[in-house]
Amino acid sequence: MQTLAQDLLQQNQHRPERLLAILHGVQDHHRYIPDAAMKQIAKGLNIPWTQVLAVVEFYNFYHTTPRGEYDILISDSITDRMLGNQAVIDRISQRLNVAPGKVRPDGQVSLDTTSCTGLCDQGPAALINGWAIPQMDDRVDQLCELIEQRRPMADWPAALFQVQDNIQRTGLLLDKTIDPGQAISQALTQGADAMLQAVDQSGLRGRGGAGFKTAMKWRFCREENTDQRYVLCNADEGEPGTFKDRVLLNRYAEQVFEGMTCAGLTIGASQGVLYLRGEYRFLLAALHDTLARRRAAGLLGDNIQGSGQAFDIEICLGAGAYICGEESALIESLEGKPGIPRNRPPYPVTHGYLGKPTVVNNVETFLAAAHIAAYGAEGFAALGTKQSKGTKILSVCGDCARPGIYEVPFGTSIAEVLKACGADNAAGAQIGGPSGTYIDQREFNRKLAFEDLATGGSFMVFNASRNVLDTVDNFTHFFNHESCGFCTPCRVGTALLRKQLEKIVSGHGSAGDVVELEALCQVIKQNSHCGLGQTAANPILSTLERYPELYQQQLKKISYEPGFDLDAALATARRMANRDDAGAHLAQIDEEH
């Protein structure tokens, strides 16, 4: 009899680059990846089984021991915390009698936290068996009942899974949408050279954060002498606080696919892949439907709009690893490997997916490219600033009355965004996610632009009641958790950062510890292999610069205290000796005495 693994291998044509899809099938069925399945998969793909094991161990959504029949993961971004995710965890834990981080002994339920799920505008959010559920605070009782009754998830009320788009402000791209095929026919009529020129004249720069010029990337790829090129859409959107790509793929998928197709026609690629973060699995079915519709309409396939040119798009579902948003890690992941960033150069434009020249762009970049193909470069280039043309789509969340999506021209000030979203008493804002910049009230006139505050879209608002150090602590944990472990400065450094920060925040640090913390930040920043490590210290560095007094207030008045609390560790010995007098304690030497 054919096993599940064999079925999945067959469905995925025994292609090693489909390993993630095969493992998703096994994980969904067994709630973990059994050794026997790993061995069968390795044999079927003709790769060592240790390679399969390495992939299973790398991604957060695969497991080597069974998860609960109902596997509950609570989103743990700072905004989920602000919206009360701890109370949700406590209530579920109590009601279902399951300890956080554990599988209940009968195997019916497991409970844990996960990095930001991209629902920061409607948290606290959860994933249950991989399916997103927003606003958990209102739903704990209902959900626990369904689990206690062992109701299959397919029978759960659809309203539980209803994710809102929360589009609060539209602009050039979201207002002036295009009909299916409109941009493609323009791209075909004007030809690849003119299309490239339009993208160049528009001034479009990548919306994933780094802001590389899109036309230049496309040109480099097009100029490579090769038999195959690829277009990859980066929908791994894992930066805490970012969720605009979720909305774009839910509401504007036609336009995103249209942009990918225009890119393919321009650079001479016949295959595209959308890499969708695992947390957005709920978008998958509708995206496949959209692709099928476009194929039927001749907008994808072997002969696009009768031009004789071919281009098609596949979707690959990620498996819970923030690092896979880094473009070379994304390519590794697409090839069915752990998402470890490659050495660069060579860059993907020359050596990318399957070793071929590859363009990787963000979802919003493709949306903008479709607009430029359909309507020309002028309208786009007329908006924004000198170095940042067009509009930026922001994901706004945190302490504001109207969280959601805002499309604003580049050059818009932070104060304007705060006003628009109803953040009346904002004390600070984190621009560009944890790897970005924390700014306070004194800087609210700064502008969103590559020449001032660059952002992939994350815009988190904090009012005066929030403790800045809690935010820094959450971000530092995030980087440590998401470090891929490949290079020592980041793997070890982010763990040390976390510990050192905890020591200070918990009131056990001295002035020397702050000096050491800052030195550690510099070591990680300067020696890490990729952007994750290079920016992991930003939350600490940017708050140390703005709020030294906050760190100062936490310090003990001692010259040095080891990270290990010896006195606390001797508590058991004291209990055994039945002593708790002053002589049984180790005293710290206070500088004032």
Ligand X SMILES: Cc1cc2nc3c(=O)[nH]c(=O)nc-3n(C[C@H](O)[C@H](O)[C@H](O)COP(=O)(O)O)c2cc1C
Length of the chain counted residue by residue = 593
> What, of ligand X, ligand SF4, none, does residue 490 touch, CB below 5 to 8 Å by kind?
ligand SF4
Smallest separation, CB 536 to ligand SF4 (Å): 7
Residue among 24, 139, 207, 529 that touches ligand X (CB under 6 A): 207
What is the size of the binding site for ligand X (CB under 6 A)? 22
Cα–Cα distance between 268 and 349 in angstroms, integer?
13
Site for ligand X contains 494 (CB under 6 A): no
Q: Residue 426 contacts by C-beta under 8 Å, 6 or more apart in sequence?
A: 399, 400, 418, 441, 444, 461, 462, 463
Give the residue carrying structure tokens 């390679």. Answer: 51
> What, of ligand X, ligand SF4, none, does residue 485 touch, CB below 5 to 8 Å by kind?
ligand SF4
Using the minimum distance from each CB to ligand SF4, give the nearer residue, 325 or 390: 325
Cα–Cα distance between 78 and 539 in angstroms, integer?
13
Site for ligand X contains 532 (CB under 6 A): yes
Give the residue carrying structure tokens 């790769």. Answer: 47
Smallest separation, CB 497 to ligand SF4 (Å): 12
Task: Give me the helix-helix angle, 468-482 and 538-546, nearest 10°.
Answer: 160
Site for ligand X contains 323 (CB under 6 A): yes
Q: Is 28 exposed, middle or buried (0-12, 13-18, 19+ CB in 10 A)?
A: exposed
> What, of ligand SF4, ligand X, none, does residue 276 touch, CB below 5 to 8 Å by kind?
none
Interacting residues with ligand SF4 (CB under 6 A): 323, 341, 483-487, 490-491, 528-530, 532-533
Cα–Cα distance between 194 and 200 in angstroms, integer?
10
Contacting range for ligand X; rule: CB under 6 A; set: 90-98, 319-327, 331-339, 554-562: 319-327
Cα 199 to Cα 240, 368, 386, 472: the distances in Å are 30, 9, 16, 38
**Which of positions 382-421 make contact with ligand X (CB under 6 A)?**
none
Using the minimum distance from each CB to ligand SF4, give the nearer residue, 341 or 456: 341
Smallest separation, CB 331 to ligand SF4 (Å): 14
Give the residue carrying structure tokens 């790398």. Answer: 58
Contacting range for ligand X; rule: CB under 6 A; set: 280-288, 332-340, 445-453, 526-534: 526-534
Q: In 3D, which of 137, 47, 130, 61 has the Cα closest to residue 92?
A: 137
Q: What are phi and psi of 533, to 5 degrees?
A: -65, -35
The letter for the amino acid at 213 is K
Smallest separation, CB 516 to ligand X (Å): 25
Site for ligand X contains 272 (CB under 6 A): no
3-state secondary structure of 112: strand
Using the minimum distance from each CB to ligand X, give the nearer residue, 9 or 196: 196
The letter for the amino acid at 176 is K
Residue among 206, 336, 339, 539 that touches ligand X (CB under 6 A): 206
Contacting range for ligand X; rule: CB under 6 A; set: 254-262, 391-399, 438-446, 528-536: 528-536
Smallest separation, CB 115 to ligand X (Å): 12
3-state secondary structure of 384: strand
Site for ligand X contains 210 (CB under 6 A): yes
Contacting range for ligand X; rule: CB under 6 A; set: 246-254, 259-267, 422-430, 525-533: 525-533
> What, of ligand SF4, ligand X, none, does residue 76 touch, CB below 5 to 8 Å by kind?
none
Using the minimum distance from each CB to ligand SF4, give the nearer residue, 237 or 482: 482
**Which of positions 212-241 make contact with ligand X (CB under 6 A)?**
212, 234, 236-239
Using the minimum distance from each CB to ligand X, give the nearer residue, 236 or 473: 236
% helix, strand, coil for the chain, step of 5: 50, 15, 35
Contacting range for ligand X; rule: CB under 6 A; set: 8-16, 318-326, 499-507, 551-559: 318-326
Cα–Cα distance between 116 and 168 in angstroms, integer?
21
Cα–Cα distance between 320 and 98 in angstroms, integer?
23
Site for ligand X contains 286 (CB under 6 A): no
Site for ligand X contains 352 (CB under 6 A): no
Site for ligand X contains 114 (CB under 6 A): no
Q: What is the DSSP string of 541-585?
A: HHHHHH-HHHHHHH--SSS---SS-HHHHTHHHHHHHT--SGGGS
Cα–Cα distance between 31 and 193 in angstroms, integer?
50
Give the residue carrying structure tokens 């292609």. Answer: 15
Smallest separation, CB 112 to ligand SF4 (Å): 22
Using the minimum distance from each CB to ligand X, give the nearer residue, 275 or 311: 275
Smallest separation, CB 148 to ligand X (Å): 37
Using the minimum distance from each CB to ligand SF4, give the nearer residue, 207 or 529: 529
> What, of ligand X, ligand SF4, none, does residue 209 touch, CB below 5 to 8 Å by kind?
ligand X
Site for ligand X contains 276 (CB under 6 A): no
Q: What are phi and psi of 527, to 5 degrees?
A: -115, 0
> What, of ligand SF4, ligand X, none, does residue 529 touch, CB below 5 to 8 Å by kind?
ligand SF4
Residue among 195, 360, 393, 417 that touches ligand X (CB under 6 A): 360
> Residues 274, 277, 280, 281: is their CA dihedral positive or negative?
positive
Cβ neighbours of 142 (radius 10 Å): 13
Site residues for ligand X per CB under 6 A: 206-210, 212, 234, 236-239, 323, 325-327, 360-362, 365, 530-532
